[in-house]
């Protein structure tokens, strides 16, 4: 695992050095990932314009001291089900570490806002709207029938019967087959 991590750090380091020739590396920084059993250690780079730059964290989508996507999902799932305070207690019970009700609220509201944006994008697409002008004539036919459904009962008694209706409808534009 360490060889993979070393290789994973070397490629962003090479890319970063090519883009910033005057850069030098400093200390290693460790980023703990919540709900994971591992942490990320990487070199922090210094350039003439910035005091620190962490290319590996940007590349794998991790920020220090921030919740992971998995944690945000768990927080929003618990926050949707119950009150934010109860969801925070549920985190302690299920995962063994505590979060504040404010963190649950923030994750839940961010998740809801993201879902609302996605829903608005889906509703804005053209295939969701009916055409402004349709065909002049439509031929439709409907038929129905009764189906006998039998409920199970003991063998000695006569089986009771239950009838349910089934309907079938078909429609097409006049003149098409």
Confidence of residue 37 (pLDDT cuts 50, 70, 90): very low
135-167 per-position pLDDT tens digit: 888 899 999 998 887 766 666 666 667 788 999
Give the pLDDT confidence score for residue 1 in this predicted structure.
Answer: 44
For 89-112, b/e burial (b = at least 16 CB within 10 A) is: bbbeeeeeeebeeebbbbbbeebe
Whether the model clears a pTM of 0.75, i.e. scores above it, the answer is no
* Average per-residue pLDDT for the chain: 77
Among 143, 153, 149, smallest CA distance to 163 is for: 149
110-138 per-position pLDDT tens digit: 999 999 999 998 888 776 666 678 888 88
């Amino acid at each position: 695992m360490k060889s993979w991590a070393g290789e994973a750090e070397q490629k962003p380091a090479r890319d970063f050095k090519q883009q910033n020739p005057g850069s030098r590396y400093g200390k290693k920084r460790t980023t703990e990932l919540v709900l994971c059993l591992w942490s990320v250690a990487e070199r922090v780079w210094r350039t003439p314009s910035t005091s620190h730059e962490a290319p590996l964290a940007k590349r794998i989508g991790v920020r220090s001291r921030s919740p992971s996507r998995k944690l945000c999902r768990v927080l929003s799932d618990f926050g949707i089900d119950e009150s934010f305070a109860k969801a925070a207690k549920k985190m302690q019970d299920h995962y063994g570490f505590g979060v504040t009700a404010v963190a649950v609220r923030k994750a839940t509201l961010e998740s809801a806002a993201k879902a609302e944006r996605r829903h608005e994008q889906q509703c804005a697409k053209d295939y969701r709207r009916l055409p402004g002008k349709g065909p002049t004539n439509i031929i439709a036919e409907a038929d129905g029938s009764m189906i006998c459904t039998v409920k199970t009962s003991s063998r000695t008694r006569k089986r009771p019967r239950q009838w349910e209706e089934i309907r079938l409808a078909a429609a097409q534009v006049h003149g098409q087959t």
